[in-house]
A and B are shown apart, each in its own frame.
Chain A
Amino acid sequence: MMRVMKSIRMIAAPVIAVTFILVAWQIAVMMSGVSAFLVPSPLAIGQTMWASSDRLIGGAIQTAMASTIGFVIAAVIGILVGSMIAAVPFLRRSLYPLATILQMVPLVAVAPLLVIWLGFGLPTAIAAATVVAVFPVLAATIDGQVSVDPGLREFFLLHGASAWTRWRKLDLPASIPAIVTGLRIAAGLAVIGAIVGEFVSGYGGPNAPLGIVIMTAMREARTDLVFAAIALSAVVGFALFGAVSCLGWLLVSRWHASGVNSLEQSK
C-alpha cells in the first residue's frame, strides 16, 4: 500500500506541475492578447496537433527512427572504443584528449560536412545523432572501467584471468552503472542530433521528419505547428530516455547502491 502511494505521489507531482504551467500559459496568452503568431496558446497547439496528427506522427516516427539508430550506433561505438581506451594506457593518453577536443566542436558546424559525405536524407540524420551521442557513452565507459576496484582486478590476476576474460567478467559488468548514466545523457542528445541532421539534410515527402516539419512550418509562419512538432520531438526524446532508464534499472537495480537501498526499504 505504501509503495502504491509512493508511486502515485511520484507520478502526480510532475503531472500537477505540467498542468499548472499549461493553465498559466493559457491564461497569460488570453489576458495579454499576444499574437498567436508569436506565442500560440496550449489549446491552439493541441488543436493543431489533432488536425495535423498524420503529418506529426509520421514525422515523429522518422525522427524516432533516426534518433534510435544513431543512439544504438553511438552506444556500440562508445562502449567498444571506450573499453579499448580504458584497457590500453597509451590510447588513454593519446585518444581520450583528442575525443574530448572533438566533442567541443559544435554539431551545427559539422552537420554540413555530413551532408557532403552522406548526402541528403536519413543517413545524415542518423550520423548527426551518432556524432553527438557517442561522447557521453565513451567518457562514461572509460570512467567506469578505469575505476574498477583494484582489489577485484588483483583477484582476477591471481587466478590467471586473461585480459578478455577480465573485461567480460569484471570490467564490463562493473562499469554498467556508469555506462547507463552515459547512455541516459546520450539518449536526449541523440534526438537533438537527429533534428539538427534533419534541418540540414532537408529530406521531405509525405513522412517528413520533425526537423523538416519544424522548418516548413516556420517558413509557412505556422508557429502553432512549430510548437506542436517541438512538443512531439520532446516526447521522442523522453521515450528514448525512458527506455534506456528502464533497461538500466533492469541491469543494475539488484546490486547497485540505489537498487540495494530500495530492496532494504521494501523489507
Chain B
Amino acid sequence: MLNVGKIEEGFVLDHIKAGKSLDIYDHLQLDKLDCTVAIIKNARSNKMAKKDILKVECDIDMLDLDVLAFIDHNITVNVIKNGEIVEKKELTLPRQIRNVIHCHNPRCITSIEQELPHIFYLADAKKEIYRCRYCDEKYMPSAKWS
C-alpha cells in the first residue's frame, strides 16, 4: 500500500470517481499553482470500491468550489490546517458557470462571436441540467463525468 504523507495546510479532495482526478486537476488549473500536489489514483474505498484523491498544499481560497461542484458535487472537500481537518465543505451545484465548458451547438452565437464567454446556467437542479445562456443547449455534467 502506497503512503502519501499528511499536508499541513491546504485541502484534500476525497471520493473522486476513480480515474477522474486528472480531469479535476486540469479544470481547477492546479498546473498553474506553485504548490505541492499529490494525485492518488485507484485508492481503496469502502464507499466506492475505488476512488481518486487529490491533496493540494495551498490556500483554500485558491480553489474554485463552483467548478468542482459542477464537475462532481459528490466530492468531499476537506480543509486542512496545522495538519488537521478543520472543515468539510458541502458542494452544491453552482447557479452559473463561466468558461468551464464550451457550447457545442454549431448554431449558437458562441460558435462565431469571438471572445464571448461560454456561460451555462442551472436550468433544473433536480435533474442536474445546465443550459447555454445564449442558445439553451442542454448539458448534463453527470453524463460527461460519469
Q: Do A and B bind each other?
A: no
